[in-house]
């Protein structure tokens, strides 16, 4: 999951956009939510597709078709764009899970038991699709989500009624090279047998880390892959021996020679592959990653709801001249750029810009903006002092001078000459701190999360408040402040970076890094 880009809209169809989930063949996919907080995956359709004659009608028909498939292995369609609206979009329930393609790329082929279970579950998914009179037409590793309860077969964007060929043109293939059937590759109507071919190709990938018509590590043109699919035999080396005859049958060149989903499921059951066992057979490390993914998504939703409530509770005040100078009309449906980008052009209002910079700078993910200017460092310190709210208590001052925690060995007095690296997870309760002799992160008694320097001056603050707040640097790389009820009220928004570290740098800046990339910066250098 990635942060929204400045050019992204803030909402589509009345649904707020919270982050980017990725991009597919038809368009961008965003994380969104309903008014009640239910997570959604909102897919927008590329403009060039929307402008094709008849596409809008086909799009609406595909949505109606996908809604006919109600099974445990599919996602529910929640809403979609009205006729004539641009961009066209489709909102489905969000499944916080990696795709098979992502998992295998990161962790390698599935273990034998998990492979058998996955095969059985996907047979169940395709059987449900085919029972509804449909063909998926784009079964591939990227369209299989490895959820904790069972895998999901997603993206019916190219699904068609199996007996409807009105929108299939001669010589036009629909699907993904390397996984689509020979009958699809030559432009024939793709029905149930084509899905079985694609399923077998997907299972070969799950077992070996490559498709049946490609070699490990090679990058070849789509046309070459299509040629191999049509004219060459699949390479099943590395596939468990008991699965080779089953997958060979599914990969037959002639559609009539391929088994149905029900028949393949029966063959798998004879070999120990049956539905319902995925939670026990899936890779053990997957459960932890699913928890982190869901937590990151839920944090985004909670922060969005918190911001909405905070905005609603904030009293209206007449704009000052400085507010007028800083304000700029927004392009309809577009996100305002962070105010700190205006500093160079608004030197006359340096103090006001510095206050805004202290708040916005710390939430930017781009490493390109991780180093503030000299003027930004000076004014950032003053701004943080103002937003910190008060002078720390004697106990907090002592903790600031003597950082707490098992990852904080005694620091030598004097200037720090090397960065201090803090690994996740780390949790700070009220009154606790972590840091060096020159910088400390403190969760104050009033709930504010503040960076103090060696003179006990605030250099940055999250501007949080509330009795019982805590701060947590999580395994997903996100630094979050939670209230006493366990709800996030501020976050660095650096989720999705396992292994990221919190670094107290020699120049006084506090940053979150993944490798050499700065994901977040407090702007407290100097």
- 3-class SS at 193? helix
Task: Provide the pairing of β-strand 449-453 with 458-461.
Answer: antiparallel
Report all structural domains of the chain as residue ranges with CATH numbers, in order of start: 1-94 (3.30.200.20), 95-281 (1.10.510.10), 319-327+337-521 (2.90.10.10)
CA dihedral 405, 407, 410, 415 (to 10 degrees): -110
The pLDDT of residue 381 = 40
Indicate if the alpha-carbon torsion angle 216, 254, 176, 173 is positive or negative: positive
Mean pLDDT, 10 residues at a time, the chain of 526 residues: 82 91 80 87 84 78 76 88 86 91 94 96 94 88 94 71 38 65 80 94 97 85 90 95 97 96 96 94 86 74 64 46 32 31 33 33 31 34 46 43 38 59 91 90 92 89 89 90 86 84 91 90 85
- 3-class SS at 488? strand
Task: Give CA angle at 190 (61, 56), nearest 5°.
Answer: 25
* The 3-state secondary structure of 75-139, one letter per residue: CCEEEECCCCCCCCEEEEECCCCCEHHHHHHHHCCCCHHHHHHHHHHHHHHHHHHHHCCEECCCC
The pLDDT of residue 307 = 62
Return the active site residues.
138
Residue of 442, 438, 429, 436 lying closest to 410 (CA atoms): 436
The pLDDT of residue 48 = 78
Please tell me the distance from the alpha carbon of residue 494 to that of residue 309, in angstroms, as a whole number.
23
Query: Model pTM?
Result: 0.60
| CB-based contact 126:261 (threshold 8 Å) | yes
Omega cis (within 30) before 352 = no
| CB-based contact 125:71 (threshold 8 Å) | yes
The pLDDT of residue 68 = 77
The alpha-helical segments, DSSP class H, found in 271-320 are: 278-281, 284-313
Please tell me the distance from the alpha carbon of residue 224 to that of residue 124, in angstroms, as a whole number.
32
The pLDDT of residue 306 = 65
CA 433 to chain centre: 30
The pLDDT of residue 2 = 75
């Amino acid at each position: 999951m990635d942060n929204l880009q400045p050019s992204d809209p803030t909402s589509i169809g009345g649904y707020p956009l919270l982050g980017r989930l990725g991009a597919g063949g038809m368009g961008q996919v965003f994380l969104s939510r309903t008014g009640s907080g239910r997570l959604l995956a909102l897919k927008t359709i590329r403009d060039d597709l929307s402008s094709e004659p008849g596409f809008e009608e086909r799009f609406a028909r595909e949505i109606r078709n996908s809604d006919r498939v109600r099974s445990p292995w599919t996602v529910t369609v929640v809403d979609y764009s009205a006729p004539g609206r641009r961009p066209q979009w489709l909102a489905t329930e969000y499944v916080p899970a990696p795709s098979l393609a992502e998992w295998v790329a990161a962790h390698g082929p599935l273990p034998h038991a998990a492979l058998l279970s996955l095969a059985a579950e996907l047979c169940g998914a395709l059987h449900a699709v085919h029972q509804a009179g449909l063909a998926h037409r784009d079964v591939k590793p990227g369209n299989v989500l490895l959820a904790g309860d069972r895998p999901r077969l997603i993206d019916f964007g190219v699904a068609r009624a199996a007996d409807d060929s009105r929108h299939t043109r001669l010589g036009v293939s629909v699907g993904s090279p390397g996984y689509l059937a020979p009958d699809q590759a030559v432009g024939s109507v793709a029905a149930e047998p084509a899905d079985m071919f694609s399923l077998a190709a997907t299972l070969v990938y799950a077992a070996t880390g490559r498709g049946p018509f490609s070699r490990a590590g090679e990058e070849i043109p789509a046309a070459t892959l299509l040629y191999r699919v049509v004219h060459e035999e699949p390479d099943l080396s590395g596939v468990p021996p008991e699965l080779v005859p089953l997958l060979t049958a599914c990969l037959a060149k002639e559609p009539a020679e391929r088994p149905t989903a029900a028949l393949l499921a029966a063959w798998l059951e004879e070999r120990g592959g049956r539905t319902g066992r995925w939670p026990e057979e899936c890779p053990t490390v997957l459960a932890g990653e699913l928890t982190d993914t869901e937590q990151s998504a839920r944090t985004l939703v909670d922060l969005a709801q918190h911001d909405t409530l905070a905005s609603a509770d904030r009293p209206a005040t007449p704009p000052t001249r400085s507010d007028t100078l800083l304000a700029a009309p927004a392009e309809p449906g577009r996100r305002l750029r962070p105010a700190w980008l205006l500093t160079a052009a608004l030197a006359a209002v340096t103090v006001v810009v510095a206050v805004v910079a202290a708040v916005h700078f710390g939430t930017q993910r781009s490493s390109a903006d991780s180093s503030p200017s000299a003027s930004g460092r000076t004014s950032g310190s003053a701004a943080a002092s103002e937003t910190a709210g008060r002078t720390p208590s004697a106990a907090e001052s002592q903790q600031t001078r003597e950082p707490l925690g098992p990852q904080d060995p005694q620091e030598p007095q004097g200037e720090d000459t090397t960065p201090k690296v803090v690994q996740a997870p780390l949790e700070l309760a009220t009154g606790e701190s972590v840091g060096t002799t020159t910088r400390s992160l403190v969760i104050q008694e009033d709930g504010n999360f503040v960076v103090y320097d060696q003179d006990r001056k605030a250099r940055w603050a999250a501007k949080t408040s509330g009795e019982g707040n805590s701060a947590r640097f999580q395994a997903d790389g996100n630094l979050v402040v939670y209230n006493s009820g366990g709800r996030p009220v501020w976050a660095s928004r650096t989720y999705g970076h396992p292994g990221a570290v919190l670094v107290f740098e020699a120049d006084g800046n506090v940053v979150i890094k993944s490798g050499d990339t700065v994901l977040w910066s407090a702007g407290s250098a100097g």
